[in-house]
Amino acid sequence: MNTLQAYFKAPSNIALIKYWGKREIQIPENTSISFTLKNCVSKTKIICKNRNADKNISVFFEGKNNEKFVPKIEKMFQLIKPLLPWINDYEFEVHTENSFPHSSGIASSASSMCAIAACLADLNNQMLKKNELNLNLISEMARLGSGSACRSVFPNIAIWGKHSKIPFSNDNYAIDANNFLHENFKNYCDSILIVSNKEKSVSSTAGHGLMKNNPFSKVRFQSANENCILLLNALKNGDYNSFIEITEHEALTLHALMMTSTPSFMLFEAESIAIIKKILEYRNETKTPLCFTLDAGPNVHLLYPKNYKEKVHEFIKNELFQFCYNNEVIHDEMGNGVEAIQQ
Ligand code: DP6
């Protein structure tokens, strides 16, 4: 075989209903829902050749050979083997870079695993002489790399995890949920307030593991599934108040779960709490429909409708910059999902 190559870009996503707790193999304990972002992306090229050596994966991050990422990608490729039986017969060079600064503390696994999965689906097409990209296959392979990555495939909003009340929802891959988006939620914005540039003190994978013995886990998985329906109704009806209530409740629940695990983790910094208080105050005073959500770390995501953008940017500059590491804020919004890059 001649050398084949594929080049894709995939975005990060921000969960509104959080995935926190999983079973083998990468099966979520509850349904999750996320907004797909536009500016926080990974661009990944995979070069694929016949295998000569024992070691079949090398990774180049931002141009430099990077051994640290190899084990995670090796594991993903092993899990993908039933879907792409040829995968062990080839050798892969993975070249990847992120649009967001390395120092931002933003997890890149969702965007990078999704971009890798898209490259593999494209290589599969090239081998089988097929044209159409199979988004479900990309999402399923991305999930095997990192659970949340499976939601990055689709534009604007995606749902992952089987839910008895959501048609077509399933544990293997995410589904497009654009049919739930009222005009009020189109082009929604997310300004990411960078509080710390430190690596996470607990990896998501270890965090999911802690849910096995968390005393609140059963109640949590049930309430997440209930919140999915409440959130989808809010999105469908253009109801900002319910959206805000559910989204903030989910964010705080995620952190409460970490605080009540053994061992426990406190992932807020003082600045995270100061920012949250300012957001609540500002919402109360101005009635602007903005709200916060959090990942498994100290950074705060500020979510708001696009027509409030100027006003909210002004608020960030005047009131929130002071709490951000190096005044760093990444302004993002809903985006397109996975896309091929012309070579
Ligand atoms: C808090 O997808 O990073 O961001 O499947 O172990 O790779 P693995 O975990 P990961 O977990 C993400 C957790 C979260 C919430 C979410 O994105 O739903």
Secondary structure of the chain in HEC code, one letter for each residue: CCCEEEEEEEEEEEEEECCCCEECCCEECCCEEEEEEEEEEEEEEEEEEECCCCCCEEEEECCEECCCCHHHHHHHHHHHCCCCCCHHHEEEEEEEEECCCHHHCCCCHHHHHHHHHHHHHHHHHHHHCCCCCCHHHHHHHHHHHCHHHHHHHCCCEEEECCCCCCCCCCCCCCEECHHHCCHHHCCCEEEEECCCCCCCCCCHHHHHHHCCCCCCHHHHHHHHHHHHHHHHHHHHHCCHHHHHHHHHHHHHHHHHHHHCCCCCCCCCCHHHHHHHHHHHHHHHHHCCCCEEEECCCCCEEEEECHHHHHHHHHHHHHHHHHHCHHHCEEEEEECCCCEECCC
Cβ–ligand 1 distance for 211 under 6 Å, the answer: no
CB 170 within 8 A of CB 136: no
Closest CA to 315 of 185, 189, 196: 189
Residues 54, 156: Cα–Cα separation, whole Å: 41
Phi-psi region of 161 (alpha: psi -120 to 50; beta: other; left: phi over 0): left
pLDDT at 319: 98
Taking the centre of ligand 1 as the mean of its atom positions, its distance from the CA of residue 146, in whole angstroms, is 7
Cβ–ligand 1 distance for 296 under 6 Å, the answer: yes
- Whole-structure pTM value: 0.97
Cα separations (Å) of 109 from 16, 33, 41, 117, 274? Answer: 17, 17, 10, 12, 28
Closest CA to 17 of 199, 234, 304, 183: 234
Q: 22-23 and 189-193: which strand pairing?
A: unpaired
User: How do the pLDDT tens digits run along the chain, 343 residues long?
Assistant: 779 999 999 999 999 999 999 999 999 999 999 999 999 999 999 999 998 877 899 999 999 999 999 999 999 999 999 999 999 999 999 999 999 876 666 767 999 999 999 999 999 999 999 999 999 999 999 999 999 999 999 999 999 999 999 999 999 999 999 999 999 999 999 999 999 877 777 888 889 999 999 999 999 999 999 999 999 999 999 999 999 999 999 999 999 999 999 999 999 999 999 999 999 999 999 999 999 999 999 999 999 999 999 999 999 999 999 999 999 999 999 999 999 999 8
Work out the burial of residue 331: count CB atoms within 10 Å of its CB; fewer than 13 is exposed, 13-18 middle, 19 or more buried.
Answer: middle
pLDDT at 53: 77
Cβ–ligand 1 distance for 203 under 6 Å, the answer: no
Closest CA to 160 of 186, 190, 135, 124: 135
pLDDT at 321: 96
Ligand 1 atom index nearest CA of 17: 18
Task: Supply φ then ψ for residue 326, to 5 degrees.
Answer: 55, 30
Give the contacts of 217 (CB within 8 A, at least 6 positions apart): 21, 29, 211, 257
pLDDT at 87: 95
Ligand 1 atom index nearest CA of 32: 18
Cβ–ligand 1 distance for 293 under 6 Å, the answer: no
pLDDT at 104: 65
Residues 161, 180: Cα–Cα separation, whole Å: 16
pLDDT at 105: 67
Taking the centre of ligand 1 as the mean of its atom positions, its distance from the CA of residue 55, in whole angstroms, is 28
Taking the centre of ligand 1 as the mean of its atom positions, its distance from the CA of residue 295, in whole angstroms, is 9
In the chain, how long is the greatest CA-to-CA distance?
A: 65
Q: 57-61 and 64-65: which strand pairing?
A: antiparallel
pLDDT at 212: 97
Cβ–ligand 1 distance for 18 under 6 Å, the answer: yes
Residue type, 86: W
